[in-house]
Amino acid sequence: MAVTARSDHTTMDLGAVAALGDELLDWRYKGMPPDRPPVRLGELAALRWDALGGDLPVPVMLLSEPALQANVDAMAAYCREHGALLAPHGKTTMAPQVFARQIEAGAWAMTAATPAQLRVYRRFGVQRVLYANQLLEPAALRWLARELEYDPDFELICLADSLEAVRALQGLRVGALVEMGHADGRTGCRTVERAVEVAQGAAAAGLELLGVECFEGTIRRESLGATLAAIDELLARCDAALGEVRGLIDGEAIVSAGGSAYFDRVLAAFGGRDDVVCVLRSGCYVTQDGGFYEEHSPLAGRAPGERRLRNALEIWGRVQSRPQPDFTVVSFGKRDVPFDLGLPIPRHVRHGDGAVAEFAAEVVALSDQHAHVRLDPAAELAVGDLLGAEISHPCGAFERWKLLFLVNEERRVTGGVLTFL
Looking at the DSSP bridge assignments, the partners of residue 373 are 328, 363
Task: Give first-to-last CA distance, the chain, whole Å.
Answer: 30
Q: What is the pLDDT of residue 137?
A: 96
With contact defined as beta carbons under 8 Å apart, do 397 and 374 qualify? no
C-alpha distances (whole Å) from 137 to each of 141, 168, 169 are 6, 9, 10
Q: What is the pLDDT of residue 8?
A: 84
Q: Which of 135, 78, 134, 148 is nearest to 106 (CA)?
A: 78
Q: What is the pLDDT of residue 4?
A: 52
Task: Characterize 305-326 residue by residue with b for buried, 16 or more Cβ atoms within 10 angstroms of its Cβ, and e for exposed.
Answer: eebbbbbbbbbbbbbeebeeee
| Reported pTM | 0.96
- Quote the crossing angle between the two packed helices 96-104 and 65-81, to the nearest 10°: 40
**Mapping DSSP to helix (H, G, I), strand (E, B) and coil, where does residue 387 land?**
strand
With contact defined as beta carbons under 8 Å apart, do 412 and 48 qualify? yes
With contact defined as beta carbons under 8 Å apart, do 138 and 163 qualify? no
Task: Report the alpha-carbon angle 261-4-274, nearest 5.
Answer: 65
Separation CA 107–CA 8 (nearest Å):
9
Separation CA 134–CA 207 (nearest Å):
14
Range 82-287: architecture per CATH: Alpha-Beta Barrel (3.20)
Domain coordinates of the chain in residue numbers?
48-64+309-418, 82-287
Assess if CATH 2.40.37.20 describes domain 48-64+309-418.
Answer: yes
Report residue 64: phi and psi, to 5°. Answer: -70, 115
Task: Report the alpha-carbon angle 292-298-303, nearest 5.
Answer: 110
Q: Is the dihedral of CA 229, 235, 239, 241 positive or negative?
A: positive
Task: List average pLDDT for each run of 10 residues in the chain, which is 421 residues long.
Answer: 62 98 97 96 97 97 98 97 96 98 98 98 98 97 97 96 97 97 93 98 95 95 95 97 96 94 97 94 97 96 93 98 98 98 97 96 98 98 98 97 98 98 92
With contact defined as beta carbons under 8 Å apart, do 179 and 160 qualify? yes
Specify the amino acid at residue 376.
Answer: D
